[in-house]
Amino acid sequence: MNKPDTTQMSQLNQLLRRLIDAKIDFVVIGEFAGMLHGSSYVACSLEICAVPTPSSIRHLRETLADLNPVHRMTPMNTTLSFLNIPRDGETFDNFYLNTDLGTIDILSNVIGVGDFERLKSTATAMPFQGKTCLVMSLEDLIKAKETLAREKDLLVAKQLRAIAAARNQTPQK
């Protein structure tokens, strides 16, 4: 289990709230989704699923502009600003960014589950700081974690199964 860092969590919460306030169309996925469902595993980044169209990328750029978003997976650790790359009209499937408020990964699909529309169709609307955001369903999150099958993902999946069983949503394995 990760040790909570209150500053980091506060910053990730600010980042999520910023996306909600900007009315970005997304679904929260990954460890942050797990935390929102009640997992004790602490997220070190914010992961979302969204459709990377030219207009959605423009909207994301406007939303993140003052946070100095840079791509974090670049050749030879070069600094590439999300404000410039991709160029207008270009899209990528996924973006892995560092910002002044923390790391955000923007994925177009989730392994083992599907694309944004599939995730959105089963997502859970959850309250967050007086607003509502869509969060990957507990069942889909368990499926994704078990598909990845890394040790940490299997531990999170086990805990999420226990949470689901307590809520009578999915039988515990």
Which pLDDT score is estimated for 1?
45
Instruction: Measure the CA–CA gap between 68 and 71, rounded to whole angstroms.
Output: 10
CA dihedral (20, 125, 43, 94) positive or negative: negative
CATH code for the part of the protein at 6-155: 3.30.460.40
- Give the pLDDT confidence of 135-165 residue by residue, as tens digits: 999 999 999 999 999 999 999 999 999 999 9
Which pLDDT score is estimated for 73?
87
pTM surpassing 0.75?
yes
> Are 46 and 7 spatial neighbours (Cβ–Cβ below 8 Å)?
no
Which pLDDT score is estimated for 170?
57
> Are 64 and 51 spatial neighbours (Cβ–Cβ below 8 Å)?
no
Instruction: Measure the CA–CA gap between 148 and 22, rounded to whole angstroms.
Output: 31
Which pLDDT score is estimated for 3?
53
* Ranges in the chain, pLDDT < 50: 1, 171
Which pLDDT score is estimated for 169?
64
In the chain, what are the domain boundaries?
A: 6-155
